[in-house]
Homo-oligomer: A and B are copies of this chain.
């Protein structure tokens, strides 16, 4: 046996999560970029809403990348990093490492299958959109 088995979000579910997040963003009245990553931290689905800020394009992906990497919502990372001066000084500026809200892991039966990252509104709004995406695919926000 030379391999392990891993689970990863399927394309249809990734699209479903992105579309539910988009609906929430419309409801809130913001335009966001939405990235869904798989469990290998690679892009699976992406949507840039009309009028979303262009700088949000990469931030959405980076939030998903951070969440899939550490199986943690991005805002959760800030809580412990902020108490650790070397990390606070160092890792907050590491490329693609995001410490503010708007990224969540996607977990199924206790196993990481992907992540969602959203950027475009205030991060508290981005978080609401993420949670709507997670709810639509039957995953709670960890």
Contacts and interface: CB of A to CB of B under 8 A. Distances in A.
A9 to B, nearest CB: 5
B40 A108 contact: no
B43 A69 contact: no
21 contacts: A2-B10, A2-B13, A2-B108, A2-B139, A3-B10, A3-B39, A6-B6, A15-B19, A15-B47, A40-B40, A41-B54, A41-B55, A42-B54, A43-B46, A45-B46, A45-B48, A46-B47, A55-B70, A78-B89, A84-B100, A86-B123
Nearest to A53: B69
B69 A75 contact: no
Nearest to A67: B55
A11 interface: yes
Chain A residues touching B, majority SS: mixed
A69 B10 CA distance: 18
A137 interface: yes
A66 to B, nearest CB: 6
Contacts of A106: 2
A46 B49 contact: no
A112 B58 CA distance: 21
A98 B108 contact: no
Contacts of A81: 89
Interface centre among A55, A69, A98, A108 (most CB of B within 10 A): A55
